[in-house]
Amino acid sequence: MRTAEQQAEAEAATVAELRDALGRFLSDEHLNDLIRDLLETSPVFAELWSQRPVARAPARRKTFDHPEVGEITLDCDALTVQGSDLRVIVYTAPAGSADGESLSLLSAIGLQSFSG
């Protein structure tokens, strides 16, 4: 779950990334349709869009509530290949941290569920 502040940061970052994509793909019909739809239906998007932000995704921290290990906070990095649309999202936790131990546990249990 996100706090109101985290939600606002995520929304602003998403709008900035979308404007960056528009700069690279100005004539993309689907992208332009998406932006037009968002401007018409979302006052929050329209307000953020009017600020004209442009950015690629920075490193972030994200917290997940996993049903087996509980809350786990991970570093989230977007790795891009210059000149392409390829983007790989990498989640990591500091070695030796409780979050790192939870991540290791998840890699061991996989998709198993321990609820009865």
Measure the CA–CA gap between 32 and 38, rounded to whole angstroms: 10
Residue-level pLDDT at 106: 86
Measure the CA–CA gap between 114 and 100, rounded to whole angstroms: 20
Q: Do 43 and 71 lie in a common domain? A: no
Say which residue the tokens 């990334």 belong to.
17
Say which residue the tokens 């349709």 belong to.
33
pLDDT value at 9 more than 80: yes
Q: Which amino acid is at 98?
A: A
Q: Do 45 and 64 lie in a common domain? A: no
Q: Do 42 and 70 lie in a common domain? A: no
Q: Do 43 and 65 lie in a common domain? A: no
| Residue 38 included in any domain | yes
Instruction: Identify any residues that bridge with 74 across adjacent strands, giving them in sequence order.
Output: 62
Residue-level pLDDT at 21: 85
Structural domain that includes position 35 = 4-50
- Identify the band that residue 4 occupies on the pLDDT scale cut at 50, 70 and 90: confident
Residue 9: both structure tokens together: 């940061």
pLDDT digits (tens, 9 = 90+) for 60-78: 788 888 888 888 989 888 7
**Structural domains of the chain, count:** 2
| Residue 102 included in any domain | yes
